[in-house]
A and B are shown apart, each in its own frame.
Chain A
């Protein structure tokens, strides 16, 4: 496999990212040399601004990235104090130390001798100050860039609870979590991922309940992630997932800080990636796909009702089309007499076999859904109307698709959105079961179900079985499975993921 034909074809058009072995370059005492190095590294980029000034006979340069810094803050809190400081009795490195001391304490500052680090920090929106004769650079945290307000996330709508959602800025996201956990047990480890992008990734956990091995494993996996650019948390997700091939993922995602906090409180590890509002949570269990924040905010009996609905919907969305095809093709005896004539008369008018009909209509549905998702909202509605009325109604009138099949598609489509986190595996499995149902009937579907079941049962991310607490059976955890206990009882003892092993 090492020298396989396919691998060679991949190597022809790709480049392996190599870790830089570049030696550390120190900040020079010659200010012009430093400026030249900056310009050499950054080229003629218009957004890099150099501001030279001379104070008490010493030359200084401020370097910043336009559009990523707060200009008012720089002027009032940094430049003004530096310009008004008397450096006449200061020489060498002490110049930058004195400059840093003069700046307001509310501003983050650090001193480095590594010029590449200074460039990297400047690219993150920090202000760099260098002085003639000093072999250090001062970095000031003055980032300010256009950002979205923490609106309610569109993918996780809730009836009750906070209307706040994660945004792209990781510091804001951390602050949202901090506001919910005012305890020193909430801790963060910051890592850098991406050879080129150097994206900041925050590993969040609660030190009093998170298993050390789990935390180490997560950190190790993120550190070992070989990526050039991290454009979203989805880039990191595969590195955190179970190594066994499966359509299901063992990494949870959320855009809600309240959900994120609740998961951390169960001893899980959360990952916030700078530049993306989707936070990752590991390990993620299968049953959690049927839980939502609303379940915990409403009365337990209603939560149980909603969760049951979700499980039924999941079953519908995966098996209904396949079962319909299997029953109509092989097991007509199962259809009640009152229905069998209606279905037969409808299906006999269509030109395609049931399995082809099911595949076709589901394919059309997926195309319409994908188009509606990618189009601008206004056009998206039009696409939905075209899909529902024109294709659906016309296909039945023209005798291409039978009306019962359209009912099946409608029910399946609606059901698949009830558990939106499982949409991807559901969509793929649905097509598979339609094909199997059309080939070997219910027996094939049962065999396919068995294969899916054993695959799910084999997943064990971070030594926590994906199907826990169903199998391995943890009866104690069933207090929050389908039925949920009241907070009066649940509040007394909290659940911890490490106990699910």
Chain B
């Protein structure tokens, strides 16, 4: 990782916003196996799973506070570090593509259903590359500046919807059993690329990392659970018929003479998307630059931007292609490997070395 240091507040603000994007853009097909009220339960459960998944990372960084996972691997096995760097970059690239494609799915189906929005997609990647080029300090500071208006807008929208909650919409909890809820929560945890981000970038954050991590987890669970609670209460079964339920929920919000507050939520969404794409590209650029020093960061980012644009343009406009790419199992495997399994293996290897 580069030497630039940001505060834990900046780092976790960034993660808060990137995670918020995933919450806003969840698609009901991910949660089709559970009842409506279980949405709220799994929102909490998924973050508990995230905590469990981060246990190896916690112990690993406790021993090597200034190194990320790749540095630790590189110390042990230089060639392996190179291979893993490419693997981590590929995982992050995959998440970048799915993030942009989901945004394209939204703009192509909800915002401009009758217009070709490919240029918007390229625009998003271009701005993301620019953000990545400016570096983690700029992104961290932007996140802090964005987190307050984003949270305020979110609270405002939730507040305008509270009056519309119908308590008859809430079904009994665990109506279909505990297992489907756990499976859904596990799937959601698998989609949490922020765990990979922590594994790769936590050394650049200075401050109380463990405490900040738990505050982040708590706030994220609170926001997600609150949003789902309002969504279920206001929309009921209507939730499962929408491609992007949170957007539909915002469309029902009304304040004074102003109706349809969905552009506000979409605005937040776009801001979060920018940060997520930028941060993902930044991490890829940083990792690859370290391994291939003869390539400048600018060149790597341009290459990544071009490649992701081509792939996203190929996916654009086809829900089938998007469904194939945005595969829950693939994401779960990728996240578990990079954020849990590899750190756990390194932890074991490090311990063994210590005993020897």
Contact = CB atoms under 8 A, between A and B. Distances in A.
Interface of A: 244, 330-331, 333-334, 336-338, 439-447, 449-451, 453-455, 457-458, 460, 465, 467, 470-473
Contact of B131 (A444, A451, A472): A451
B157 interface: no
Given A446-B271, A471-B144, 6 more contacts: A244-B134, A334-B258, A336-B258, A442-B267, A454-B131, A455-B130
A454 B139 contact: yes
Q: Which of B9, B123, B127, B135 has the most CB of A within 10 A?
A: B123
B326 interface: no
Contacts of A450: 127, 131, 142, 146, 270-271, 274-275
B141 A442 contact: no
Contacts of B145: 453, 457, 467, 470-471
Contact of A444 (B120, B139, B271): B120
B66 interface: no
Contact of B267 (A338, A446, A458, A472): A446
Nearest to B6: A472
B68 interface: no
B281 to A, nearest CB: 12
Contacts of A472: 7, 10, 141, 144
A336 B134 contact: no
Q: Which of A441, A453, A470 has the most CB of B within 10 A?
A: A453
B345 interface: no
B123 A440 contact: yes
A443 B131 contact: no
Interface string B49-93: 000000000000000000000000000000000000000000000
A467 B141 contact: yes
B137 A441 contact: no
B347 to A, nearest CB: 33
A331 B263 contact: yes
A471 B120 contact: no
Interface string B124-153: 100100110011011111101110000000
Contacts of A449: 271
Among all A-B residue pairs, the 7 with the closest Cβ atoms? A458-B138, A457-B141, A450-B274, A471-B144, A458-B134, A471-B141, A446-B270
Interface residues of B, number: 37
A334 B111 CA distance: 13
B259 A333 contact: yes
Nearest to A335: B258
Nearest to A451: B127
A338 B258 CA distance: 10
Nearest to B266: A443
A454 B130 contact: yes
B142 A336 contact: no
Contact of A442 (B112, B117, B258, B263): B263
A300 B146 CA distance: 27
A444 B127 CA distance: 11
A473 B144 CA distance: 8
A471 to B, nearest CB: 4
A219 to B, nearest CB: 26
Q: Which of B112, B131, B142, B266 has the most CB of A within 10 A?
A: B142
B135 A458 contact: yes
Contacts of A447: 123-124, 127, 270, 274
Contact of B107 (A334, A336, A443, A471): A443
A200 to B, nearest CB: 37
27 contacts: A330-B111, A330-B112, A334-B263, A440-B117, A441-B263, A442-B263, A442-B266, A444-B120, A444-B123, A447-B124, A450-B131, A450-B142, A450-B271, A450-B275, A453-B146, A454-B130, A454-B131, A455-B130, A457-B137, A457-B138, A457-B142, A457-B145, A458-B138, A460-B137, A470-B145, A471-B142, A472-B144
Interface string B111-123: 1100001011001
Contacts of B139: 454, 457
Nearest to B131: A454
A473 B145 CA distance: 9
A260 B257 CA distance: 47
Contact of A333 (B141, B260, B275): B260
B257 to A, nearest CB: 4
Nearest to B278: A454
A179 B96 CA distance: 60
B138 A454 contact: yes
Contacts of B124: 447
Contacts of B258: 334, 336
Contacts of B274: 447, 450-451, 454
A454 B134 contact: yes
Contacts of A453: 142, 145-146
A471 B134 contact: no
B135 to A, nearest CB: 7
Contacts of A334: 258-260, 263
A471 B257 CA distance: 35
Given A443-B270, A447-B124, A472-B141, A338 B111 contact: no
A466 to B, nearest CB: 9
Nearest to B260: A333
A320 to B, nearest CB: 15
B68 to A, nearest CB: 22
A440 B120 contact: yes
A330 B117 CA distance: 13
A447 B146 CA distance: 12
A331 B142 CA distance: 27
Given A338-B257, A442-B263, A446-B270, A470 B144 contact: yes
Nearest to A450: B274
A285 B339 CA distance: 39
A444 B7 CA distance: 30
B271 A455 contact: no
Contacts of A460: 137
A447 B9 CA distance: 23
Given A333-B259, A334-B263, A443-B270, A454 B120 contact: no
A444 B126 CA distance: 12
A458 B127 CA distance: 14
Contacts of B7: 472-473
Given A331-B263, A333-B260, A441 B271 contact: no
A334 B107 CA distance: 17
A117 to B, nearest CB: 47
Nearest to B139: A454
A179 B275 CA distance: 50
A470 B142 CA distance: 10
A446 B137 CA distance: 21
B130 A443 contact: no
Q: Which of B10, B117, B266, B270 has the most CB of A within 10 A?
A: B270
Contacts of B267: 442-443, 445-446
Contacts of A471: 10, 140-142, 144-145
Contacts of A439: 119
Contacts of A337: 257
A470 B260 CA distance: 31
A457 B140 CA distance: 8
Given A444-B123, A453-B146, A471-B10, A465 B141 contact: yes
Nearest to A459: B138
